Structures are given as structure tokens and as C-alpha cells.
Amino acid sequence: MAVYEKNQSVKSFDAEVVLIDIEKFSLMSALDQVKAAVVANGELEQFLGISPGQSAFKLEEVVVGFVPTGDGFYVILHPQLIGYGVVLALSLRSMLLTASNKTNGLFKGIQAACHYGELSAFVDITEKENFVGPVMNNCARLLGIKSSQAPENFLEDNNYIFCSKESIEIFKVRYNYDQEGSHFKELGVRISDWVEVKDKHGLIHVGAFVEGSRYVAYNPPRPSDFDERVRERLKPYLSGE
């Protein structure tokens, strides 16, 4: 009865999630499905391993959860990095497309969605932390969007990123996107007008397509105590310990 005992008090919080979906995954052979799963996980591990080292965050300060879906995976961002989801989606697409090119086109297409909302953590039967919540359900609904719904000449191909209105608005505030000289705008990150997608229940979800470089992965923003963190990491080397 460990599941009941360990979930007498369930933690709920607001979080941002990124959902990566591998197009036509179920049509792959068993061997290619294994290859795709290994490559996708390996690229995510590599990115998350490098990013904290460059931003000075610890890994657990960037990502609090990873949930496989069969055709892809959810990445649960730490609440302190709300707003980074749009950037993470762009980064993961870049890494997976690059990996696909190195594996003779293993991935037929990569779609990503990003949403912000309520999430709950619980301990599952394997005694590991797992996640459920409306934010994950609604994020999945966003991938019901069709590439044909994007503005004319906005998308390069079917490797699209579609983010909810909630995530887009948080991203714009966090990174001053609408201001002159915006960092990500200067890097070529583009956001479409609002687009509606109707899910299988007839509910309407509002979001926007996001486009940017297919070759760039963006690190998380540095924490305010970045210099102190770096000095602490270098202390053993500087002191000769």
C-alpha cells in the first residue's frame, strides 16, 4: 500500500511543460523505435548536462521531471524558469533535427508544444515521482494544430513549434520580447499571430507558432548569483584542494 501511504499529501504547483512529439513514431520498425528513443533521450541528456554548466544552475534547478509518452516526452521545467519553455522547445528541436541528420533521417518530423498551468506530483508504483495535471493534457491538445494553419511562408516544413497563449505571454515578459533590441528577436525568433485549435472535445485552445534557428540551442538565463556560483565551483581548484 506504499502508493496510498506516500500520496496522502500531493504537491500541486504551476509549471511550464514542453512536449516533444516524434512524427510517425508508431509506424517505425521496432529497431528504429529503439534508436529514436535512445537518440531523443541522449540528446536531451546532453543538452541538460551542458546547459546548467554554462548557466551555473544545477540540473534539478532546470528540470524537475521527464515523462515519456511513447511517441515522445514531456519535459517539466522548474517553476523558477517559467518563461523558458518557448526557448527550450526551440533548443530541443534544433538538437533532435541535427541528430536526425547524423542518423540518416531517423526522425520523419519533430513537433513541439509548450504550455503553462497547474501540475501535480505524486509517487507512482515504482516509488518515483511522476506528474499529472491539466497543463499536460492541454499541452497535448496543442499538437492537434495543422501546419496549414500557420501564416503563409511562416513555417519552413512540418517541424513546427506551437505554444499556448499563456506560455507566449510569459516568455515575452521574461525576455522583454516586445521591446526594442530584444535579445531573442535579434536572434531571429519569430512569433505568429494567435491561432485557434479545436480539440477532440470541441474545446478551443489559443496559441502561436514559434520559429527560429534550426541549429541553435539556448541556455537557461543565468541566476542573479551567477558569479558567486561560479566562484564556489572553482574554489577547490583555486585553493589547490
pLDDT of residue 127: 87
Tell me the pLDDT tens digit for each residue of 32-77.
888 888 888 888 877 777 666 666 677 777 888 888 888 889 999 9
Tell me the pLDDT tens digit for each residue of 95-140.
999 988 888 888 888 999 999 999 999 999 988 889 999 999 999 9
Contact yes or no for 161/210 (Cβ under 8 A):
yes
CATH of the domain at 99: 3.30.70.1230
Contact yes or no for 110/39 (Cβ under 8 A):
no
Contact yes or no for 203/76 (Cβ under 8 A):
no
- Residue 4: inside a domain, yes or no? no
- Residue 1: inside a domain, yes or no? no
Give the single-character DSSP code of 78. -
Which run of H or of E encompasses 53?
helix 30-55
pLDDT of residue 241: 52
Summarize the confidence of residues 82-88 as an average pLDDT: 94
Residue type, 56: A
- Residue 229: inside a domain, yes or no? no
Cα–chain center distance at 145: 17
- Residue 210: inside a domain, yes or no? yes
DSSP letter for each residue of 140-162: HHHTT--GGGSPTT--SSS--EE
Contact yes or no for 71/21 (Cβ under 8 A):
yes
Contact yes or no for 174/84 (Cβ under 8 A):
yes
Tell me the pLDDT tens digit for each residue of 160-174.
999 999 999 999 999
DSSP letter for each residue of 172-222: HHHTTTTSTT-HHHHTT-EEPPPEEEE-TTS-EEEEEEEE--SS--PPPPP
In total, how many domains does the chain have?
Answer: 1
Checking if the pLDDT of 228 tops 60, the result is: yes
- Residue 226: inside a domain, yes or no? no
Confidence of residue 92 (pLDDT cuts 50, 70, 90): very high
- Residue 234: inside a domain, yes or no? no
Which run of H or of E encompasses 54?
helix 30-55
Output the average pLDDT for the chain.
88
- Residue 2: inside a domain, yes or no? no
**Domain containing 99: what range?**
9-215
- Residue 133: inside a domain, yes or no? yes
Which run of H or of E encompasses 86?
helix 85-102
